[in-house]
């Protein structure tokens, strides 16, 4: 089968699953052939090698598997990370958390941070690359996620500056940190997620408990107990009021919520002490 016919058939197989069926058919063909997408232009008549292999990828996508898991990569901030179904696919909104955290690191000359729930390593790796003097201790309760984070840490040669620890939040982690950063699971267990998310991404990375903010609350309390200056977290768009109540109950020096590009509340920065 030639490129034109393969793309036509693949687009038709994908059309019910994605609004960008033709584009994804092209991306997956380029991935399959090991070429750039532009290579496909004006090569309609060229035969596709291993056409069955190509349609195997298309069938996975047609069954809602995220594109990023099929090609084992995701673009995030200024890097490309390895991902598979052991980790959450880093989301564009988490780039905003990085921007917020970066401002605080720069303004306060922060040298030591901890990340809770490192997943693929996205947040810790971007921050470590941006701040060459920064040391990071990053935890995850999932051994599977830590294996992926280890691959990505190696890809960017950050073994010396990012320590990966298998822990429940910061349980058993020694050390003094200026700041804690986290994008924890914050979705309520019974929330109806789309099939491409709930059927493929690890539930331990998505669901935070019965009401959703359970882990966020634990992180806020542990961070205060650890005597850190700053905590920055991503959260759900509807969790601002409940999180604000926690701040009032435990007493914090300063807090601020930030919004995502769609105007939804998406995270917070809290300062516990001077
Ligand atoms: C929403 S994902 C975030 C992953 C990554 N930091 C990112 O932003 O793409 C949450 C991560 O927290 C981890 N996690 C869940 N509960 C945890 C806990 N109690 N302690 C540490 N990590 C936890 C999950 O395994 C998952 O990797």
pLDDT, tens digit, for every residue of 22-33?
999 999 999 999
Burial of 189 (0-12, 13-18, 19+ CB in 10 A): middle
Q: What is the pLDDT of residues 144-194, one digit of tens each?
A: 999 999 999 999 999 999 999 999 999 999 989 999 999 999 999 999 999
- Residue 217 C-alpha to ligand 1 middle, in angstroms? 14
Q: Tell me the per-residue pLDDT of 72-107, one tens digit each, with 9 for 90 and over.
A: 999 999 999 999 999 999 999 999 999 999 999 999
Q: Where in the chain is the domain with CATH 1.10.8.10?
A: 3-73
Fold for 89-271, please state it.
Answer: Rossmann fold (3.40.50)
Count of helices and strands (H, E) across the chain: 11, 11
Probe target for ligand 1 pocket from 79, 146, 184, with the most ligand atoms within 8 Å of CB: 184
**By alpha-carbon position, which residue is closest to atom 27 of ligand 1?**
119
Supply the pLDDT for residue 274. Answer: 87
Assign 36 a pLDDT band (cuts: 50, 70, 90).
Answer: very high
The pTM (predicted TM-score) of the whole model is 0.95
pLDDT at 17: 87
Q: Which of 22-26, 41-45, 114-118 has the lowest mean pLDDT?
A: 41-45
Antiparallel, parallel or unpaired: β 265-271 and 254-259: antiparallel
Q: Give the neighbor-by-neighbor strand order of the sheet with 162-166.
A: 162-166, 135-140, 112-116, 179-182, 230-234, 265-271, 254-259
pLDDT at residue 144, as a whole number: 98
Find the 146 Cα to ligand 1 centroid distance in Å. Answer: 10
Report pLDDT for 51.
98
* 141 Cα–ligand 1 center, Å: 7
For residue 122, name the pLDDT band (cuts at 50, 70, 90): very high
**What is the residue-averaged pLDDT of the chain?**
97
Ligand 1 in contact with 170 (CB < 6 A)? no
Class of domain 3-73: mainly alpha
Which helix (H) or strand (E) segment holds residue 74: the answer is strand 74-76
Whether the CB-CB separation of 36 and 30 falls below 8 Å is answered with yes
Mean pLDDT of 35-63: 96
Classify residue 219 as exposed, middle or buried by CB count within 10 Å of its CB (0-12, 13-18, 19+).
buried
| Residues of each domain in the chain carrying CATH 3.40.50.150 | 89-271
């Amino acid at each position: 089968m030639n490129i034109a016919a393969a793309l036509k058939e693949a687009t038709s197989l994908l059309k019910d699953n994605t609004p960008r069926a033709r584009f994804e058919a092209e991306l997956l063909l380029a991935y399959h052939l090991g070429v750039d997408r532009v290579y496909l232009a004006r090569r309609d008549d060229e035969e596709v090698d291993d056409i069955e292999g190509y349609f195997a990828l298309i069938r996975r996508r047609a069954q809602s598997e995220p594109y990023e898991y099929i090609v084992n990569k995701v673009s995030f901030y200024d890097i490309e990370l390895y991902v598979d179904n052991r980790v959450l696919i880093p989301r564009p909104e988490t780039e905003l958390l990085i921007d917020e955290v970066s401002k605080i690191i720069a303004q306060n000359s922060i040298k030591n941070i901890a990340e809770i729930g490192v997943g693929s390593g996205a947040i810790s790796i971007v921050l470590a690359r941006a701040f060459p003097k920064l040391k990071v201790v990053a935890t995850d309760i999932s051994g599977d996620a830590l294996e992926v984070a280890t691959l990505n840490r190696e890809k960017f040669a950050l073994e010396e500056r990012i320590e990966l620890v298998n822990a429940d939040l910061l349980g058993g982690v020694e050390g003094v940190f200026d700041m804690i950063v986290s994008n924890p699971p914050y979705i309520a267990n019974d929330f109806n997620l789309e099939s491409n998310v709930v059927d493929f991404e690890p539930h331990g990375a998505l669901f935070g408990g019965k009401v959703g903010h359970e882990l966020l609350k634990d992180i806020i309390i542990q961070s205060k107990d650890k005597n850190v200056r700053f905590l920055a977290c991503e959260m759900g768009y509807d969790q601002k009021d409940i999180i604000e109540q926690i701040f009032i109950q435990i007493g914090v020096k300063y807090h601020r919520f930030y919004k995502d590009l769609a105007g939804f509340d998406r995270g917070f920065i809290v300062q516990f002490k001077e």
